[in-house]
Each structure stands twice: as structure tokens, then as C-alpha cells.
Amino acid sequence: MNATGPSMPPTERELTITRVFDAPRARVFAAWTDAAQLAQWWGPKGFTNPICEFEARIGGRINIHMRAPDGTVYPMEGEIRELAPPERLAFANIAVDEAGRHLLEGFTTVTFTEENGKTRMTLQTRARAVVADAAAHLQGMEVGWTMSIERLEALLGRAR
């Protein structure tokens, strides 16, 4: 049980986002698993990814450094736990500080279902704050993921 008071942010959060893309399933899956494509859409609007490494294999490493418009860098590392092209991807995702200290620990599962030439993507993610000051970052989780998915949709639209 979480012992937070009314003014304290929650230390755990879960989120599900479903989106239908006008693109074939293999194309949407590739946008998640090819580092060059991933770097183009990962993160909120205005962010860039000067480092984006994604080893598309079970046990593969993920290393993404998101740079905010103000220049602040938000490193994220992780490991691929499931990879079933083009149906399913699951990975641990951990927000770290400059020293590599865990701030947030998360797990994300993305499924891709073919629907008449389009793709239904369902993203399920959960995260928990490992240090007290990281709990505030959970508040922006839905907005951040929604912006990322909008950027993915724009990337898929350009590729047609």
C-alpha cells in the first residue's frame, strides 16, 4: 500500500494508449525497433534524441538520451524482454541521472494488430519512482507518451 498523503504525488503509475495507424503492421513495428526511426519520434514534441540505440533482440540493450528544447538531457536505458515481429515488443525502461542512478523504473509492452491494412497499436506501460524527487515525473507520463505517439503517427504519414 502506498503511504502518500494528499499533497504527495503517487510513486507508481500505469497507462494504456491505443491508436490505429494508417500503415501496415510491419512498418509500425519497424518504427519501434529500428534505432534510426525510433530517434525521429521518441519523446515529447520539441525533444531530440542525440543518442538512440536499440538492439532488436531479446536481451538487447536500449539507450536513449532525450534532449529537451532547453538542452536538458534525460537518459533512459533498458532491456528488451520480448520481441515477436511484427506482433509484440516488451522492454524494461529505466530513467537514470547523469551518474546512472535509477530515478524511474518501468516496463512497457506494445502489441500490434492488423486491421484491414491498418495497425492497431496498444501500449501498456507502468513506472514507479525509485527516488522521492522522481515521483513528479510520473505526472507527465500520459502527456509525454501521447506526444511521442503523435510524432510516430507523423513519421508513418511521411513514409507513405
Task: Give a yes or no: residue 68 inside a domain.
Answer: yes
> Would residue 122 count as lying in a domain?
yes
What is the average per-residue pLDDT within 80-101? 95
pLDDT score of 1 = 42
Average of pLDDT values for 62-67?
Answer: 97
| CATH number (domain holding residue 54) | 3.30.530.20
Q: What is the pLDDT of residue 3?
A: 47
Q: Is residue 84 in some structural domain? A: yes
The structural domain count of the chain equals: 1
Q: Is residue 59 part of a domain?
A: yes
Residue 146 counted as domain residue: yes
Q: Give me the percent of the chain exceeding a pLDDT of 70.
A: 93
Does residue 8 fall inside a structural domain?
no
| Whole-number pLDDT of residue 159 | 60
Q: Is residue 47 part of a domain?
A: yes
DSSP string, the chain: -----TTSPPSEEEEEEEEEESS-HHHHHHHHH-HHHHHHH-SSTT-EEEEEEE--STT-EEEEEEE-TTS-EEEEEEEEEEEETTTEEEEEEEEE-TT--EEEEEEEEEEEEEETTEEEEEEEEEEEESSGGGGGGGGGHHHHHHHHHHHHHHHHHHT-
Q: Residue 84's domain spans which residues?
A: 13-158
* pLDDT at residue 7 is higher than 70: no
Statement: the pTM of the whole predicted model exceeds 0.75: yes
